[in-house]
């Protein structure tokens, strides 16, 4: 999910070791969550195999990420039974808990925050603890002239804040109610025409000052500041409390056991049947029901369907009747940021210590963040790239790039995930383009007949985060429940 890209921890926001910040039922609750992961995968059928207790189902949900699984849980609470069809061999969608260098990592979105009310409430509901990253921070590595400079943490943070804060002048008026983004429609229409590049141009920054911010705007946009809408980042700033400190803190917390622990807890609670390895190719509505056809040719029919996959994937599914132009055009244009890679790296010999790297637009890597100190003295870090030519599977090639920032640093191993080329995401975090919010956005949030849509891409609040996925799943479940009630 978005926005690990902006996860920059100030020293005061980090502990010396991983610590629990949300009271839980203890180790037994965590053990139950992890056990549930294995049990859930074991019980999941594959395409063409019968579900454990068979149909009929009230709702078919396409996608087992946070949006789809939350929708299933909400539907169960309304007395409706769901079948979840997931294209991958795992649950999670654009979240993905994995292991690397002896540590648990998040190859997709992994951050939660108290300012994100939906996911924070879910963690409390299922007694899943939140944790902060371990280890200390030493420096920033920031653009300087045609190269880079190592800058002490406090000095670097002050420099970035001095440029970053004015970028959002007037956002408190543009989004006075951040979870209700259309409150000031009169102001929003003009602002939504702006790309991030347009806003940077308005500021008339010096070349050195712009380099402190344009790596973020380009990275979040998917490679070029011209692509991303200014209102996308502006709303995140508003949701963060309109301050630099609030914005920089939104990726400070993760979930104990990983994002999969909370997701599995919600899935277990949903009572839904799950079929993995089950990509959907066609959805047909006719005669008061909806039929879903998979790549293998298997069909499933129910009164209602929730399409809980990224907007970028809508174009890969044949809908009959066809979706209105707003849906298809947005899917072709894309909301999920293109070319996105998240790259975990095991590094050593860093002359900059544990550093945050903020390269400028056009550099093969965008933000670089330390994750953990390892027992052998090496360090776990992760970075993002929107450079389609970078082979992140090669430690040597990643090292060549990283040494341009920190000479002598060694990359011992890498574990990347290319979300832009993943056939079941076709993009990374949500990054609306100019004109989308005030154009088709409110339309594509709505169901079409008996088909509803759920994805963080179309959330009212934290679009691109787990919180937005949970919000959208709840909304889709409400839409389906209202429709089901109306047909009785």
Q: Which residue ranges make up each domain of the chain?
A: 50-94+262-335+437-487
Contacts of 9 (CB under 8 A, 6+ apart): 133, 137, 248, 251, 252, 356, 369
Range in 16-20, 67-71, 472-476 the model is least confident about: 16-20
Both tokens assigned to 293: 């056809």
Neighbours of 411 (CB within 10 A): 22
Question: Mean of the pLDDT values across residues 241-259?
Answer: 95
C-alpha distances in Å from residue 150, one per residue of 96, 160, 361, 404: 32, 14, 18, 12
> pLDDT band for position 3 (50/70/90)?
very low
- Say what the pLDDT of residue 24 is: 30
Task: Give the Cα separation of 324 and 380 in Å (integer).
Answer: 46
List helix spans (H) across 336-413: 395-402
Is residue 195 helix, strand or coil?
Answer: strand
Q: So what's the pLDDT on residue 19?
A: 30
Q: Using N-to-C axis directions, what is the helix angle for 466-487 and 66-77, rounded to 10°?
A: 40
Q: In Å, what is the CA distance from 66 to each residue of 58, 294, 295, 350?
A: 20, 21, 23, 37
pLDDT of residue 485: 81
What's the pLDDT tens digit per position in 109-122? Answer: 999 999 999 999 99
Q: What pLDDT is stored for residue 487 in this prediction?
A: 62
Question: What gap in Å lies between CA 319 and CA 119, rounded to an integer?
Answer: 31
Helix H or strand E segment including 307? strand 304-307
pLDDT at position 4 is 44
In the predicted model, is pLDDT for residue 410 greater than 50? yes
Alpha-carbon distances, residue 311 vs 96, 336, 372 (angstroms): 19, 7, 34
pLDDT at 484: 83
Per residue in 58-87, pLDDT (tens digit) is 999 999 999 999 999 999 999 999 999 999
**C-alpha torsion sign, points 306, 311, 312, 315:** positive
Residue 134 banded pLDDT, cuts 50, 70, 90 = low
Percentage of the residues of the chain whose pLDDT score is greater than 90: 86
Tell the CATH superfamily of the 50-94+262-335+437-487 domain.
FAD/NAD(P)-binding domain (3.50.50.60)
Alpha helices for 334-422 (secondary structure H): 395-402
* Percent residues over pLDDT 70 in the chain: 88
Task: For residue 281, give the H/E element and its range.
Answer: strand 280-286
Residue 313 contacts residue 301 (beta carbons within 8 Å) = no
pLDDT at 251: 86
Alpha-carbon distance of 59 to 79, in angstroms, equals: 11
Q: Using alpha carbons, list the distances in angstroms from residue 34 to 27, 120, 262, 376, 427.
A: 11, 19, 9, 27, 28
Rounded to whole angstroms, how far apart are CA atoms 280 and 142? Answer: 45
Which DSSP state fits 112? Answer: B
pLDDT level of residue 193 (50, 70, 90 thresholds): very high
Determine the pLDDT at residue 136: 80
Average pLDDT over residues 193-198: 98
Residue 394: other Cβ atoms inside 10 A: 13
User: Quick one: 161 exposed, middle or buried, by C-beta within 10 A (0-12, 13-18, 19+)?
Assistant: middle
Per-residue pLDDT band for 42 (boundaries 50, 70, 90) equals very low
* pLDDT reported for residue 13: 39
257-275: per-residue pLDDT in tens? 999 999 999 999 999 999 9
pLDDT exceeds cutoff 80 at 5: no
Q: Report whether pLDDT(21) > 50.
A: no
Does residue 409 contact residue 350 with C-beta atoms inside 8 Å?
yes
What tokens were used for 333?
């244009």
Q: What is the mean pLDDT of residues 295-322?
A: 98
pLDDT at position 486: 72
């Amino acid at each position: 999910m978005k926005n690990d890209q902006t996860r920059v921890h100030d020293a005061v926001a980090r502990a010396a070791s991983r610590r629990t910040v949300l009271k839980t039922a203890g180790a037994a609750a965590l053990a139950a969550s992890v056990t549930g992961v294995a049990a859930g995968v074991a019980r999941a059928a594959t395409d063409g195999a019968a579900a454990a207790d068979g149909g009929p189902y009230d709702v078919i949900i396409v996608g087992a990420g946070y949006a789809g699984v939350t929708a299933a849980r909400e539907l169960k609470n309304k007395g409706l039974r769901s079948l979840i069809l997931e294209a991958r061999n795992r649950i999670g969608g654009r979240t993905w808990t994995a292991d690397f260098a002896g540590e648990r990592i998040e190859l997709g979105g992994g951050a939660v925050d108290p300012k994100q009310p939906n996911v924070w409430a879910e963690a409390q509901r299922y007694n899943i603890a939140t944790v902060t990253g371990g280890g200390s921070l030493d420096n920033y590595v920031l653009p300087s002239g045609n190269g880079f400079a190592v800058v002490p943490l406090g000095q670097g943070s002050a420099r970035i804040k001095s440029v970053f804060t004015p970028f959002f002048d007037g956002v408190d008026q543009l989004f006075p109610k951040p979870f209700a983004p259309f409150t000031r429609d009169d102001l929003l229409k003009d602002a939504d025409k702006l790309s991030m590049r347009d806003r940077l141009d308005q500021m008339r920054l010096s070349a050195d000052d712009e380099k402190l911010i344009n790596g973020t705007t380009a990275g979040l946009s998917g490679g070029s500041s011209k692509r991303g809408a200014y209102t996308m980042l502006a709303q995140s700033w508003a949701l963060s409390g309109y301050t630099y400190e609030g914005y920089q803190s939104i990726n400070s917390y993760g979930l104990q056991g990983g994002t999969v622990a909370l997701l599995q807890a919600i899935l277990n609670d949903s009572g839904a049947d799950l079929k993995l390895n089950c990509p959907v190719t066609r959805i047909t509505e006719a005669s008061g029901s909806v039929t879903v056809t998979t790549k293998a040719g298997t069909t499933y029919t129910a009164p209602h369907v929730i399409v809980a996959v990224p907007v970028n994937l809508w174009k890969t599914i044949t809908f009959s009747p066809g979706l209105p132009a707003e849906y298809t055009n947005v899917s072709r244009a894309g909301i999920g940021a293109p070319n996105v890679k998240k790259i975990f790296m095991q590094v050593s010999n860093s002359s900059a210590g544990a550093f945050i790297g903020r390269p400028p637009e056009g550099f093969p890597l965008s933000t670089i963040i330390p994750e953990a100190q390892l027992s052998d003295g090496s360090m776990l870090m992760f970075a993002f790239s929107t450079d389609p030519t970078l082979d992140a599977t090669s430690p040597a090639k990643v090292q060549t790039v990283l040494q341009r920032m920190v000479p002598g640093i060694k990359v011992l191993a890498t574990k990347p995930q290319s979300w832009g080329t993943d056939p079941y995401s076709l993009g990374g975090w949500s990054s609306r383009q100019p004109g989308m919010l005030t154009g088709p956005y409110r339309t594509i949030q709505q169901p079409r007949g008996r088909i509803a849509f759920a994805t963080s891409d179309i959330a009212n609040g934290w679009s691109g985060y787990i919180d937005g996925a949970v919000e959208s799943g709840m909304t889709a479940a409400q839409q389906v429940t209202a429709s089901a009630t109306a047909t009785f």
